[in-house]
Amino acid sequence: MTKPLTPQTLTVAGIMSGTSADGIDVALVRIAPRRTRAEQGTQLDLLAHRAFPYPRALRTAVLAAMDAHAISAAELARLNWLLGLAYAEAVRATVDATGIRPSLIGCHGQTIYHQGSPAPYAGRRIACTWQLGEPALVAAELSVPVVSNFRPADMAAGGQGAPLVPLLDFVLFAHPRRGRILQNIGGIGNLTLIPPGAKQDQITAFDTGPGNMVIDALAQKLFAKPYDRNGRIAASGQVLQPVLRAALKEEFFRGNPPKTAGREQFGAAYAARFLAACRELSRKPEDALATATALTAESIADAIRRFAGSLAQKNPIDVIVSGGGARNATLLSMLRERLAPLGCTVTASDASGIPAEAKEAVAFALLAYQTWHHLPGNVPSATGAARPAILGQITYV
């Protein structure tokens, strides 16, 4: 078994491009070990964060690869190379703007396909995942080692390869007296539940369902907008309750964790079916967007009621929201309304010093730091893995 190294203070760049495929987030993070007995663990300081929207042609290529029933090997190879160059350019621009140079990079890559549970293929049952973005290009362009391909090691240990942000959630948000739910709303929604005074192996995490994915798809289809800024369009519509009730009967929502979701469940095909169901009841496009927003809010609230309801009866729970959905006022209003009976507070993660859009990039800086020091990065109680695993592969300069 690989022996851990003594942790050292490092400045690490975390790179994240999520399932919404809207662009690249780069976070520069100083990570240091806590040296005293009273303060054990890891200290993180976010030094800088920058966001880089994908150029139109790159975003089109990424979305086409995600939703493709068939695509050539040449196309995937070119996309892998192009994403590597885009990641390198994003980090270089961040370094040039801040003057802060990292000594390590953690790059999640762009998920093209993720299947967390085994399914039949060619006579075997396999689970699999694939993130594009050639790390050798990033390392060569920046002369900095890169940790990438984080998910497979957890899956090889019997996990679903996601969610991988719970380690950061635990480091930043564990509290001795308050329960914490860290709800990320990116393309997909996922939560981490940390009971008061919990140890790392006592936390629960899983995907709750669509985050912005269906909302964005309908905003693009119906209004030619990349997303519904601040939820303004949805606020002018009416929620189509029969469509919402039918959607919540999907098998995914009834399942128990560990569970993961992606475009395979809630991508273009799902959005088309959802829109068709809305149009059977209303021809107003605002109603379809309001209903999609309600689907995200209700699926999150239902997950919290099911898996944290008993905890909420005994302890106050803070729901801390990150990701692009934290900027959707209509979505947060719907979420607060549904969680009010549980006595939950709902806030954005900015109050903790981590901007809502930066949290996942910070998480992959931390995971790269763990890998560099031969330390596990997964949380088995969150992913379903049989054991802690050192995640990722290192590309040296």
User: Do 246 and 374 fall into the same domain?
Assistant: no
Domain total in the chain:
2
Average pLDDT score over residue span 72-88? 97
User: Do 133 and 182 fall into the same domain?
Assistant: no
**Out of 138-147, 261-270, 275-284, least confident range:** 261-270
Residue 163 near residue 190, CB atoms below 8 Å: yes
Residue 356 near residue 49, CB atoms below 8 Å: no
CATH number for the domain harbouring residue 346: 3.30.420.40
Q: Which amino acid is at 186?
A: G
Residue 47 near residue 30, CB atoms below 8 Å: yes
141, 297, 351 from 246: Cα distances, Å:
50, 15, 36
Residue 184 near residue 360, CB atoms below 8 Å: yes
User: Do 114 and 180 fall into the same domain?
Assistant: no
pLDDT band, residue 41 (cuts 50/70/90): confident
pLDDT band, residue 61 (cuts 50/70/90): very high
pLDDT band, residue 263 (cuts 50/70/90): confident
Average pLDDT score over residue span 100-129? 96
Decide if 4 is inside a domain: no
Average pLDDT score over residue span 51-60? 95
Helix, strand or coil, per DSSP, at residue 209? strand
User: Do 343 and 221 fall into the same domain?
Assistant: yes
Domain span at 223: 167-352
Dihedral sign, Cα of residue 261, residue 267, residue 269, residue 274: positive
User: Do 103 and 214 fall into the same domain?
Assistant: no
User: Do 151 and 177 fall into the same domain?
Assistant: no
Q: Is the backbone peptide bond immediately before 258 cis, with ω within 30 degrees of 0?
A: yes
Give the integer Cα–Cα distance in Å for 172 and 16: 18
| Burial call 131-147: b when 16+ CB within 10 Å, e when fewer | bbbbbebbbebbebbbb
Residue 176 pLDDT: 92
- Tens of pLDDT, residues 177-210: 999 999 999 999 999 999 999 999 999 999 999 9
User: Do 109 and 237 fall into the same domain?
Assistant: no
Average pLDDT score over residue span 99-126? 96
Give the side-chain half-sphere CA count within 13 A for 237. 26
User: Do 113 and 42 fall into the same domain?
Assistant: yes
User: Do 377 and 312 fall into the same domain?
Assistant: no
User: Do 286 and 325 fall into the same domain?
Assistant: yes
Give the integer Cα–Cα distance in Å for 320 and 363: 15
Decide if 2 is inside a domain: no
pLDDT band, residue 40 (cuts 50/70/90): low
Decide if 310 is inside a domain: yes
Query: H/E element holding 393?
Result: strand 393-395
Give the integer Cα–Cα distance in Å for 96 and 245: 50
Residue 36 pLDDT greater than 60, yes or no: no
Decide if 3 is inside a domain: no
User: Do 173 and 212 fall into the same domain?
Assistant: yes
Q: Nearest 10 degrees: CA dihedral of 183, 185, 189, 190?
A: -30
Residue 37 pLDDT greater than 50, yes or no: no
Decide if 188 is inside a domain: yes
The length of the chain, given as a count of residues: 397
pTM: 0.91
Task: Work out the percent of the chain whose per-residue pLDDT is above 70.
Answer: 98
Average pLDDT score over residue span 364-373? 98
pLDDT band, residue 311 (cuts 50/70/90): confident
Residue 396 pLDDT greater than 70, yes or no: yes
Residue 352 pLDDT greater than 80, yes or no: no
User: Do 233 and 376 fall into the same domain?
Assistant: no
Residue 20 pLDDT greater than 70, yes or no: yes
Residue 38 pLDDT greater than 60, yes or no: no
Residue 255 pLDDT greater than 60, yes or no: yes
